[in-house]
Structure 1
Amino acid sequence: MNDSREHILKTAFILFLQKSFKEVTLKEIVEKSGLSKGAFYHYFPSKEKLFHEIVESFYFKILKIDFGSFNKNSFYDFYHDVLNHTVMKFLGIKEFLDDSYDEDDITYFTLMLDAVKLFPGFQAQIKEVHVHELAGWEQAIQSALDRGEIKSRMTARQIAQLFIYSSDGITPHLVMAGRIRAVHSEIKALWDALYDDLKA
């Protein structure tokens, strides 16, 4: 990515997290970036286009997961791969933004809600991501059931929903408490317990 373009994205992302999309002015972004107005407009013709780029470049980078790249021979390894991959991606964004303060990480979620309201197409993209996510988990679980690694009276889909929705519940709960660094260990402990219960 071009250095100036990346600098603008980083500057705007930090401001949006601090204040919200609506409250940040284009003038403020230009001033904080230290670039001329002309240089700014060379990359982004509007605040909306800039915000759109931030959501596409950072949020969807976390949400879009290539489940085919994870271990297919062990469900235990599969869910550990998914967890490590997702947490590292989010922490990578915090590192890119030089964000070491965890108490206000809920703003990462509220900013995404702003994006969904502003860009209706994002809701459809998120739904697509969720369908893909469920399918990825379901496939890995069905393989584990077929080879006898795990057993359950639940369907592969129901087990997949247990893993996904438990993570979806724990993450915002810990983020609101300013404990993003505990997400990995908390989810891992719960998923390991679920796996032990399913283990054949």
Structure 2
Amino acid sequence: MKGTKGSETKALIRETAFKQFLTKDYSMVPLKDIEKSLNLSRGCTSYHYPTKQELFIDVINVYILDVQRVKHASDNLSGLSLFEYFNQYVDNIAKAMDRLSQFVMPEANINGMRAYMSLILQAEKYYPGFHQMLSEIEKNEMAQLRQVVVKAQKDGEIRSSCNTDLLVQQIRLIFLGKSYQDALRNGLDVNSLREQLYFIYFLIKNK
């Protein structure tokens, strides 16, 4: 299991496990089910992932932490207006949600956002150090947003009287609140999220 073939097998195991962990609790996903669905031997699975926890951690690294790290990455952040940042922010979230939908079977009638948030809660429980890593990613995202807000104030795009820190927190809370609300319904409505951010924007925009 070396080289390209080994890498492909590992990726296939990880992807199959991700689908399982999205819809079931960690404790309810036996390795034998993953092996059976892929027609793999225990030896093959163990070569790549000696334990279920190691497999789970790799799933979380690839499908949650890495996604969160790149979701709002931008090479030209310094040149973005706040309005452009909002659009990029929502567009990147939409791309992440589209990618997630590829792993949630439509016929299973599963709310993708709810499944994803449930997986994050499982990671808090079964992945040592996950909370600190996710917190660091969120901290960096907040710092990134703050840079954009400060630039928008200096450029006269939005009112300079706005409390920068409170505005950044408010924008973050809109996303978290919308995600939670929609997780209880039919999944994150990115168009509605965009409307909420536009509403905030036009309240603080310079006339």
- TM-score of the superposed pair, with normalisation by structure 2: 0.87
Quote the Cα distance in structure 2 between the aligned partners of 1:8 and 1:63: 22
Deviation at 1:86, TM superposition (A): 2.1
Determine if contact 1:103/1:176 at 8 Å carries over to the other structure: no
Letter in 1 for 2:182: L
Establish whether residue 99 from structure 1 lines up as the match of residue 105 from structure 2. yes
Establish whether residue 178 from structure 1 lines up as the match of residue 186 from structure 2. yes
What is the CA deviation profile of residues 149-182 of structure 1, one whole-angstrom value per residue up to 9, with x for unaligned ones?
Answer: 00153322211111111011001211220233xx
User: What percentage of aligned pairs have identical amino acids?
Assistant: 20
Match in the other structure for 2:34: 29
For residue 83 of structure 2, give the secondary structure of its aligned residue in structure 1: helix
Q: For 1:1-200, list aligned pairs within 5 A.
A: 2-65=7-70, 66-71=72-77, 72-95=79-102, 97=103, 99-100=105-106, 103-105=110-112, 106-180=114-188, 183-200=189-206
- TM-score of the superposed pair, with normalisation by structure 1: 0.90
**Structure 2, gaps ≥5 residues long:** none
Deviation at 1:198, TM superposition (A): 0.9
Letter in 1 for 2:93: T
Q: CA RMSD in A?
A: 1.8
Quote the Cα distance in structure 2 between the aligned partners of 1:22 and 1:63: 25
For residue 64 of structure 1, give the secondary structure of its aligned residue in structure 2: helix
Determine if contact 1:102/1:178 at 8 Å carries over to the other structure: no
Quote the Cα distance in structure 1 between the aligned partners of 2:101 and 2:74: 26
Letter in 2 for 1:18: T
Give the number of equivalent residue pairs. 197
**Structure 1, gaps ≥5 residues long:** none
